[in-house]
């Protein structure tokens, strides 16, 4: 009987995606377009945060949003209503975007016209963190009601992100959420991760979040 051949598909997929991501990142660097990959669980407030940033970034950056969902165009419509150009990407049932899917989405935007493009990834704390999208930086939102233990349960998300933005601070008094613990757990996964607290609903902390984005866009374009 012939020996059974074993093919490591997952490794191959990741290797190919990594090469695609580097090519995309190089292209965006040449165009001076900063791509921010925004990840989180469903309901953490990604779209609400982007709507709050629309006011804060107005007149400071030329930017657009790519919304990724399995179906619907609800989020893209919400962003357009906030005055920010937006397109919707349907993933065909997949729980993440990879570099090629991101490239296809970007092809529908004239990226040279934008300083910043935000990719709002599919709501999921596992799959999106596994795939390099070609982004300049990765950001994750953790909402207070989700709990301060998420960096312990979903390590890769925090290992791969440059910024942890903690949303819904306006309800912190109603939940058993420890700033000390979440910061300890996040930095256990990634000692270099930056942390910003904010409330997309009240606007508290939104200027600091906008400043972080502007700073990184400017550094990318130097």
pLDDT on residue 2? 59
Q: Is 222 helix (H, G, I), strand (E, B) or coil?
A: coil
pLDDT on residue 110? 86
Side-chain-side CA neighbours of residue 125 (13 Å): 18
How far is Cα 177 from Cα 147, in angstroms, rounded to an integer? 6
* Mean pLDDT for back-to-back runs of 10 residues, the chain (222 residues): 50 81 97 97 95 96 89 83 90 81 90 94 92 97 98 97 98 97 98 98 98 98 86
Q: Which among 128, 149, 153 is positioned nearest to 138, based on CA atoms?
A: 128
pLDDT on residue 12? 59
The structure's pTM equals: 0.92
User: Strands 116-120 and 194-197: what pairing?
Assistant: unpaired
State the DSSP H helix or E strand holding residue 22, giving kind and residue range, or none if neither: helix 9-31
How far is Cα 44 from Cα 48, in angstroms, rounded to an integer? 9
For every residue of 161-207, DSSP letters joined together read: -SEEEEE-GGGGGGS---HHHHHHHHHHH-TT-EEEE--TTT-TTHH
For every residue of 73-137, DSSP letters joined together read: -HHHHHHHHTT--EEEEE-TT-SS--HHHHHHHHTTS-GGG-SEEEEE--S-SSHHHHS----SE
Instruction: Give the number of other CB atoms < 10 A from CB of residue 4.
Output: 5
45's CB contacts (< 8 A; 6+ apart) are 141, 143, 167, 168, 200
């Amino acid at each position: 009987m012939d020996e059974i051949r074993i093919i490591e598909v997952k490794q191959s997929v990741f290797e190919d995606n990594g090469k695609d991501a580097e090519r995309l990142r190089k292209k965006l660097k040449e165009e001076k377009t900063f791509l921010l990959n925004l990840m989180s669980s469903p309901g953490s407030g990604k779209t609400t945060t982007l709507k709050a940033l629309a006011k804060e970034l107005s007149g400071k950056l030329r930017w657009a949003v790519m919304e990724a969902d399995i179906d619907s165009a609800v989020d893209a419509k919400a962003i357009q209503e906030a005055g920010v150009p937006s397109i919707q990407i349907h993933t065909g049932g997949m729980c993440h975007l990879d570099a090629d899917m991101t490239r296809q989405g970007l092809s529908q935007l004239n990226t040279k016209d934008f300083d910043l493009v935000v990719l709002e990834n599919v709501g999921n704390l596992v799959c999106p963190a596994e795939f390099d999208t070609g982004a300049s930086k990765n950001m994750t939102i953790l909402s207070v009601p989700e709990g301060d233990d998420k960096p312990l349960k979903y390590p890769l998300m925090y290992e791969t992100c440059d910024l942890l933005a903690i949303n819904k601070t306006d309800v912190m008094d109603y939940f058993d959420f420890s700033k000390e613990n979440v910061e300890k757990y996040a930095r256990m996964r990634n000692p270099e991760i930056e942390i910003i607290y904010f409330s997309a609903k009240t606007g508290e902390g939104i200027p600091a979040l906008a400043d972080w984005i502007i700073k990184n866009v400017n550094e990318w374009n130097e």
